[in-house]
Amino acid sequence: MSFVEKFQRYFILLLAVFTWSFSEIIVKLLQNNVGALSLSFFRFFIGGLFLLLILLIKRDLNGIIRIIKNNFALFLISSCFALGFSNIIYFIGVTYSEANIAATIYTTYPIWITIYSIFILNERNNLKYKLIGFIFGFLGVIILMTKFNFSDFIFSEYILGNLLVLLGSIIWSLYSVLGKKIQLNEKEISNCALKFSMLSLMFACIPMIFILNFTPETNGFLNYDLNEWFLILFIGIICTGFGIWLLFEGISHLDVSKGMSLAFFKPVFVVLLSFFILSEKLSLFLLISIIFIIVSIILINLNANSNKK
């Protein structure tokens, strides 16, 4: 892969991370009016419809059935469990935690993705530098989001929410790795990343539809005002549909563990968005965090050959 092509893949992944940076803010804004299960269903269903519309515009629906048929077990695990079920756990966890703490804990997923990639995708190169890089990246996230105040991580009021967010992060990490494996199996299918993303979002709705029927959330289902619908559409189309499509486009020719190292930039984007949208003040912690994260990404993405030299 040429330098230009590699740069394009990293840029696509960075854009995907940027779209995800709105999620925690929207969840907190909607938590009193839209239930966690309802929001999970809407984000995946709307995101899936958005990607289906793109495929219809492209006039390319070939191979959709083949992706499911040839990888049925992997597809169900990645879509219904790793994507759908993990999102339910994550959204519930966010409502019982603080947004900044939840974002910090959830951003551990590059670590879990690397662990999965070692065993599922056999991505074993540069493990020493990756480990050091992940330590630097996570330290950068912690510094930015906590400002060295660690009490909220173990404070009894938030401990349940924090544990749920961590569990959601561990389960979701399996989604990107299995998704990459499925695309490697079906790489001759045109627009494979787009088709898998669409299908996985649609199938992720299945556990939510089943669970929603046994919750009180069905009473207020669809009864939202214009502002709430705008936020629901935004998290469905931009944060979910567009963001997940960019994710699999980005990692289609990169190691998942390397590409997903850019996820450490998500808390930085959250802080910058808060500055421009909510007029929150920036601090020295942002600069320190960015330095740690840049060092982290450089270490994680070093090539084994360059290390020997």
Domain housing 288: 3-308
Please give the C-alpha separations between residue 135 and each of 105, 131, 146, in angstroms, as whole numbers.
14, 6, 16
Cβ-contact 45, 236 below 8 angstroms: yes
Question: Burial, 308: exposed, middle or buried (Cβ in 10 Å; 0-12, 13-18, 19+)?
Answer: exposed
C-beta separation of 93 from 163 below 8 A = yes
- Count the neighbouring beta carbons within 10 Å of the beta carbon of residue 49: 16
Question: What pLDDT, on the 0 to 100 scale, is given for residue 99?
Answer: 66
pLDDT of residue 35: 84
Q: Under a CB-based contact definition with an 8 Å cutoff, are residues 259 and 121 in contact? A: no
Q: Are 251 and 12 in contact (CB under 8 A)?
A: no
Domain count, the chain: 1
pLDDT, residue 305, reads 47
Write out the two tokens for 19. 């779209």
pTM attached to this predicted model: 0.81
**Are 14 and 262 in contact, with CB atoms under 8 Å apart?**
yes
Per-residue pLDDT of the chain (309 residues; tens, 9 = 90+): 677 888 888 899 999 989 988 887 787 788 788 887 888 899 999 999 999 999 999 999 999 999 999 999 999 999 999 998 898 888 788 778 776 677 777 878 888 888 888 889 888 777 788 888 888 888 887 777 666 666 655 555 677 887 888 899 899 999 989 999 999 999 899 999 999 999 999 999 988 888 888 888 888 788 899 999 999 999 999 999 999 999 898 888 788 878 888 887 887 887 777 677 666 677 777 778 878 888 888 888 876 444 444
> Measured in Å, how far apart are the chain's first and last C-alpha atoms?
20
Which residue in 67, 4, 40, 10 sits closest to 250, CA to CA?
10
